Chains A and B, each alone.
Chain A
Amino acid sequence: EAGVAQSPRYKIIEKRQSVAFWCNPISGHATLYWYQQILGQGPKLLIQFQNNGVVDDSQLPKDRFSAERLKGVDSTLKIQPAKLEDSAVYLCASSLGLAGGRTYNEQFFGPGTRLTVL
């Protein structure tokens, strides 16, 4: 089966510019996640969607970060305006979520978008 797709793979911008990342999860996966992975650290969850609704965005810096999953399939993550400390790899992951009365927790990750803010 096709994995989680992300684009672009790399992006270099200057501070105060805007940037958007796109993610297409595995077909049929109800739950979609965006993570931020700063160099030398593990991924940190930014936002979690269940279908087109937000389940958890408690760690999303909402003054500059936004995300949407309008049709419950693909998703975009936007940063506006970017700061130097936003330089990181942005990972998208998906999981089957709730199906048949059970919650399937295994998350499948995409290749990530490496963002460099100058």
Chain B
Amino acid sequence: AQSVSQHNHHVILSEAASLELGCNYSYGGTVNLFWYVQYPGQHLQLLLKYFSGDPLVKGIKGFEAEFIKSKFSFNLRKPSVQWSDTAEYFCAVNARGNNRLAFGKGNQVVVIP
């Protein structure tokens, strides 16, 4: 079964700072990769996804993630954060052909105005 690791559970940064959240997974086969975001008081929403093709994926709100197969990683980045990016971010993985999503523990990101 696949598992997902997210480090630095709590991240605090100022507006305009750059953000990078790490995601590593353990599974030897082909995977689909996702980043979900949960804004305060709202439900989980898809930020971006990778199924195949260009390993650099662009999502909503200026976020991007890069799939590095050799490192089993799918790190999320945003060059300049805004206060509205305060949220919890979850990385998730499923094995190709299996819809079971394995989630990481999440990163609680707080952006200070």
B67 interface residue, CB < 8 Å from A?
no
Q: Is B97 an interface residue (CB 8 A)?
A: yes
Residue of B nearest to A4 (CB): B43
Known: A91-B44, A105-B32, A112-B43. A45 touches B105 (CB 8 A): no
User: Chain A contacts of B104 at CB under 8 A?
Assistant: 42
Are A44 and B49 interface neighbours, CB within 8 A?
A: no
**Interface assignment of A43: CB less than 8 Å from any CB of chain B:** yes
Compute how far the CA of A32 lies from the CA of B9 in the bound complex, rounded to whole angstroms.
29
Interface string of B88-101 (1 = CB under 8 A from A): 00101010010111
Q: How far is the CA of A45 from the CA of B103 in the complex (A)?
A: 9
Known: A103-B97, A109-B43. A41 touches B51 (CB 8 A): no
Q: Which residues of A contact B101 (CB under 8 A)?
A: 33, 43, 45, 107
Contact of A103 with B43 in the complex, beta carbons under 8 Å: no
- Asked whether, in the complex, the Cβ of A110 is within 8 Å of the Cβ of B43, the reply is yes
Number of interface residues of A (CB under 8 A): 26
* Size of interface on B: residues with Cβ below 8 Å to A: 25
- The 8 Å CB contact of B100, one of A48, A91, A97, is A48
- By the criterion CB–CB under 8 Å, are A41 and B105 in contact? yes
**What is the chain A residue whose CB lies nearest that of B98?**
A56
Counting chain B CB atoms within 10 Å of each CB, the highest count among A42, A48, A91, A103 belongs to: A42
Give a binary string over B20-44; 1 marks a CB under 8 Å from any A CB, 0 the rest: 0000000000001010100000111
Identity of the chain A residue whose Cβ is nearest the Cβ of B42 in the assembled complex: A111
Pair A31/B99 contact, Cβ less than 8 Å: yes
Among B32, B43, B90, B99, find the residue whose CB has the most chain A CB atoms closer than 10 A: B99
Residues in A lying within 8 Å of B, measured CB to CB: 3-4, 31, 33, 40-45, 48, 55-56, 91, 93, 95, 97, 103, 105-112
- Interfacial residues, chain B to chain A (CB-CB below 8 A): 4, 6, 9, 32, 34, 36, 42-46, 49, 51, 90, 92, 94, 97, 99-106
Given contacts A42-B4, A42-B106, A105-B99, 18 further A-B contacts (CB under 8 A): A33-B99, A40-B105, A41-B106, A42-B6, A42-B92, A48-B100, A55-B99, A91-B43, A103-B99, A105-B51, A106-B49, A107-B46, A107-B101, A108-B46, A109-B36, A109-B44, A109-B45, A110-B43
